[in-house]
Amino acid sequence: MFGQGLIKGLQITWGRLLDKKHTVKYPYEKIEMFPRFHGRFELDVEKCIACGLCANACPNKVIEMEKEKVDKKQFLTKYVMRIEYCLFCGLCVESCNKDALKFTNVLDMNQYRRSWVRLSLVDRPAPEAAEEAPKEETPAKTVKVEAAAGQAPVKEG
């Protein structure tokens, strides 16, 4: 009989009328992302040895870093990600031997201005020569680093 298919279709849609909702009211409600989610990057400055492997692994030259030699050791002074060019492929995270660079599951990185998109993970001066820079100064530097990391206008999306 002509029209049977139409009736069947209507049955399906009516059957779904009182179904549970499949959507959430973003941004008021958020879904928990999976642990492997490729969200905003996070850099553990303590672990990073400024080897540059991550920057080399990147297909799009997203990672810009500057370092200075302090005490025969490389000291990371700047670590900026040009997120607008990032493919979120994860090759950088994969290449880091020290487990310093990681993805978080923060997903909203949208900004009102293009220049704000850039993600500055480290921006700090190198300490003076070792004799003048006592050990206690290191924690203070770390605090400063955290402040720099939060430079993005919307800190937690």
- List residues near another protein by CB under 8 A: 2-6, 8-9, 11-13, 22, 33-38, 57-59, 87-91, 94, 103
Residue 31 buriedness (CB in 10 A; 0-12 / 13-18 / 19+): exposed
Closest-CA residue to 76 (of 102, 98, 101, 45): 45
x-marked contacts with ligand SF4 along 25-64 as a string, rule CB under 6 A = ------------------x----xxxxxxx--xxxx-xx-
Is there a cis peptide before residue 139, judged by omega within 30 degrees of 0? no
Nearer to ligand SF4 among residue 51 and residue 133 (C-beta) = 51
Token readout for 81 is 């990600």
| Shortest spacing between CB 96 and ligand SF4, in angstroms | 3
CA of 79: how far to CAs of 31, 42, 123, in Å? Answer: 30, 11, 7
6 binds, among another protein, ligand SF4, none (CB under 5 to 8 A by kind): another protein
Interface with ligand SF4 (CB under 6 A):
43, 48-54, 57-60, 62-63, 81, 86-92, 95-96, 98, 100-101
